Amino acid sequence: MTIGFIGLGIMGRPMAKNLIKAGYKLTVYDKFAKFDDLVALGAGGAASNKEVTSKSDVIITMLPNSPHVKEAILGDGGVIEGISSGKIVVDMSSIAPAASQEVGAALKAKGVAFLDAPVSGGEPKAIDGTLAIMVGGDQKTFDTVKPILEKMGSSVVLVGDIGAGNVTKLANQIVVALNIAAVSEAFVLAAKAGVDPAKVFDAIKGGLAGSTVMNAKVPMILDGNFKPGFRIELHIKDLQNALDTGHNLNVPLPLTANVMETMQALKVDGMAANDHSAIVRFYEKLAKIEVRK
Ligand code: NAD
């Protein structure tokens, strides 16, 4: 089975590398980023999303948000122009569930199956091939591409119809954002009280408050290392999609709205391109203390 990979950013590049390492024949393209390193590893380079598609049985996209996915798949020179019945498109970007459904319907009209398959785990797990992948679509298509997804993730779960993958991802992003905010507020309190935050981390990480988020983000906070990882501007995008989806379904999301405004303040402060662990800097500024080693 030949694979096309579109979108070679922080996540897409290591995911594509893992597919090459697993022995798949890849054709790759990114509208803005160079991809000589992937070509050096054996991938074929293409000049458009359409060309990637015409050379591939399964086309994977890993792009920032709904407009990019719609442009790459449905736009001029897009996937839909190189597609033919029987091919499969898998969008692994985190986008609005309604956009996944729109793209899925347009491809279905061409006899093409579609899955939304967003991921969790960030760059380290993209590199290790241990992402958590949450998939929306039909069982037959899922079974066909599952071996490919398993080369990028250690957990691959079909959660429902098209759009369900991205609903699951929104739930994931709410939990992650609120967890970082809770960790930030708590560690700022500890630091201002004069207790070593590294010792607080050691003392509580194995208890009920411990979490994957705490283990991933507290070491970054203690080092003052806010290099992304996952950029605040991308998390703002996810929370906006969560708030829009919630409001359309009559689901108020008061905690999500709160942390969204924290992220907006950080954006105004010039931190949109920082890792989302920089949420701590909002709380640090309020209390005039830094949580560092
Ligand atoms: P990124 O901005 O690093 O990469 C996106 C890539 O898409 C860029 O290289 C860009 O040039 C390319 N692109 C944009 N429009 C295009 C188009 N029309 N055609 C072809 N290429 C195009 O973003 P990322 O961090 O890799 O994230 C990708 C997706 O994965 C996002 O939806 C993000 O929310 C999600 N995600 C990211 C992380 C993370 O930790 N970075 C974790 C989980 C999920």
Digit-coded pLDDT (tens) for 47-64 = 999 999 999 999 999 999
Question: What's the pLDDT score for residue 44?
Answer: 98
96/88 Cα distance (integer angstroms): 20
For residue 207, give both structure tokens: 């208890």
The predicted pLDDT at position 59 comes to 98
Q: How confident is the model at residue 1 (pLDDT cuts 50, 70, 90)?
A: very high
Pocket probe mutation, ligand 1, options 31, 173, 233, max atoms within 8 Å of Cβ: 31
Indicate the top mutation candidate among 11, 170, 174, 237 to test ligand 1's pocket, ranked by most ligand atoms within 8 A of CB: 11
Atom 11, ligand 1: residue with shortest CA distance: 32
- Indicate the SS3 state at residue 180: helix
In the predicted model, what is the mean pLDDT of residues 73-91?
Answer: 97
pLDDT at residue 152 in the model? 98
Q: What is the pLDDT of residue 23?
A: 98
* Closest protein CA for atom 25 of ligand 1: 10
* Ligand 1 atom nearest to 122, measured from its CA: 40
Q: Which pLDDT band holds residue 16 (cuts at 50, 70, 90)?
A: very high
User: Please, how many CA atoms are within 13 Å of residue 210, restricted to the half-sphere of its CB?
Assistant: 10
Chain segment 131-168, per-residue pLDDT in tens: 999 999 999 999 999 999 999 999 999 999 999 999 99
pTM attached to this predicted model: 0.95
| Ligand 1, atom nearest to 231 Cα | 41
> pLDDT by residue (tens digit) across 189-244?
999 999 999 999 999 999 999 999 999 999 999 999 999 989 999 999 999 999 99
Ligand 1: residue of 63, 130, 169 to mutate (most ligand atoms within 8 A of CB) is: 63
The answer to whether 8 and 92 have CB atoms below 8 angstroms apart is: no
- Please state, for a pLDDT cut of 90, what percent of the chain lies above it: 99
Angle, CA of 166, 169 and 175, to the nearest 5°: 150
What per-residue confidence (pLDDT) applies to 6?
Answer: 98
CA distance 174 to 180: 10
| Residues in contact with ligand 1 (CB, 6 Å cut-off) | 6-12, 30-33, 49, 62-64, 68, 71-72, 93-94, 119-120, 122-123, 229-230, 234
Angle at which helices 164-192 and 97-108 pack, to 10 degrees?
160
Indicate which residue's Cα is closest to atom 1 of ligand 1. Answer: 9
pLDDT-derived band at 264, boundaries 50, 70, 90: very high
CA of 11 relative to ligand 1 center, distance in Å: 7
Q: What whole-number distance in Å separates Cα of residue 122 and Cα of residue 253?
A: 24
